Amino acid sequence: MHIPDGFLPPHVCLAGYALTGGVTWYSLRQIKHDRYTQANIPKASLLTAAFFVASLIHIPIPPTSVHLILNGLMGAVLGYYAFPAILIGLFFQAVMFQHGGMSTLGVNAIILGAPAIAAYHLFRQREHLSAKRQLLTKVFSFGAGAGALLLSAMMFTLLLVTNISPDMNISVERTAIFVSLGGYAIQAAIEGIFSVMLISFLEQVKPELLKS
């Protein structure tokens, strides 16, 4: 789900950087007013490292394989810290492993970071519901993990479909891109389940880590 260099025209890449700059500014502004900065910065650092490493762990799903993204989980646990954390992780992935690209860093940050913020707001809804708290935490955890991945996949697909090079067979490329959405659906379920497991564990042993 990382778009490499050369796949998008320059104006789309520039728009991605502009949007990323705006969202980063807004996220940092929200972080400035956070009451739990001392606790959340180490937590964000830890999950940034997990996001960075996750791209190297491939889960075989014949005939292909997928790797965890964790943007929904990061959003649920970190809140607005998730966007700069994802941006930093994407930067190091591009520099060290050519996973993504520098020209598309802004676009990739929006694809993965914006759904993380959406996941944060979805996960927070559990705070307004007092009945069946444990069950609702699991439901919203799954929704945050799976929903963020699906939203990222749709944004990724839309960008690729609308920016296919004229030198390629456009109909074939579009078909291949849309078929890949099936794999993302499976990956979303995996991310949702993983988010449920980790957040449920944190709620039992360290519930303060879920404050953001």
> pLDDT tens, 82-130?
999 999 999 998 998 888 889 999 999 999 999 999 999 999 888 777 6
Q: Does residue 79 form part of some domain?
A: yes
Q: Is the pTM of this model over 0.85?
A: yes
Residue 29: pLDDT above 90?
yes
3 falls within a domain: no
Instruction: Check if the beta carbon of residue 43 is closer than 8 Å to that of residue 34.
Output: no
- Among 92-101, 112-121, 169-178, 184-193, the minimum mean pLDDT is found in 169-178
Q: Tell whether 186 is covered by a domain.
A: yes
Residue 48 has pLDDT above 70, yes or no: yes
pLDDT at 15: 96
Between 174 and 50, name the one with better pLDDT: 50
Distance separating the N- and C-terminal Cα atoms of the chain: 27
Query: Is 195 contained in some domain?
Result: yes
Instruction: Look at the chain and report how many structural domains it folds into.
Output: 1
- Separation between Cα atoms, residue 103 and residue 96, nearest integer Å: 15
In angstroms, the CA 108 to CA 17 distance is: 9
List helix spans (H) across the chain: 10-32, 37-54, 71-78, 82-97, 105-124, 133-162, 170-205
DSSP 7: S
Query: Does the residue 1 lie in any domain?
Result: no
Give residue 164's domain range.
10-210
Are 104 and 8 in contact, with CB atoms under 8 Å apart? yes
Q: Is residue 81 part of a domain?
A: yes
Answer with the residue of higher pLDDT: 63 or 114.
114
- Report the alpha-carbon distance of residue 91 to residue 138 in Å, rounded: 31
Q: Is residue 168 part of a domain?
A: yes
**Residue 73: left (phi > 0), alpha (psi -120 to 50), or beta?**
alpha
CATH number for 68 = 1.10.1760.20
Residue 180 falls within a domain, yes or no?
A: yes
Residues β-bridged to residue 23? none
Q: pLDDT category, 208, cuts 50, 70, 90?
A: confident
* Predicted local confidence at residue 197, as pLDDT: 92
